[in-house]
Structures are given as C-alpha cells and as structure tokens.
Amino acid sequence: MNSKSNSGSEQQNRQKELAEREREITERERSLRLREMEMELYKAEPPLYKTLKEESGESKIQRWGRQLKRVGKYALVVVGVFAAVRVGTMLASVVIVGAIAWVAYQLFFGSDKPNK
C-alpha cells in the first residue's frame, strides 16, 4: 500500500510540475507576444500628410477693401465721439453761463420787495 501511495503522490507531483511548466510556458508566450506587439507599435513610423497652402478666394484688392472698411468705421466712431464731447462741453458751458447770468440778474435786478 505504501508503494501505491508513493506512486500516487509521485503522479500528483508530476501533474503539478507539468501544470506549473504549462503555466510558465503560457506566461512566456504571452510576454513574448506582448513585447512583439510593443515593438510593432513603436517601430511604426507616424504617417506624414502632405500639407497644402490654402488658397484664399479673394484678391489683394478685396482684402484691402475689407480692411479699408474697418478703418473707415473706426474713424467714424472716433470722429463721432470727438464731436459728441465737443457738443457736450459747449452745452455744459452754455448751461453754466446761463445759470451764472440768472443768479446775477436775481441779485442785481430782482425786486427788493419780498413776495407776499
């Protein structure tokens, strides 16, 4: 019976060794395939695309015209703001002079009688 249990345990040990070897071989194959895939991935050159200069559909005169329009609009805004400031200061001056004249009139030419 002892020889049967030894042969049974030897057979189990052998099966364990075979299973371990199979697992190691599978692991090696997997790591080898992974390295191969990495080499393929890093070895491949990135694709190069041919670049083309974009041709605009407008001529220089059209671009200049568009730019001239922008400059004209800007100039109109500047002139408008300048005119508004000038008119505002003139109007403020007229109001101030008018207020001073009214106060002077009341002081010098107003009646001395109190209103009842």
| Through-space distance between the first and last CA atoms of the chain, rounded to whole angstroms | 146
Please state the pTM of the whole predicted model. 0.42
Domain ranges (residues) in the chain: 11-43, 60-116
pLDDT by residue for the chain (116 residues), tens only, comes to 566 667 778 888 899 999 999 999 999 999 999 999 888 877 767 778 888 887 777 788 888 999 999 999 999 999 999 999 999 999 999 999 999 999 999 998 887 666 55
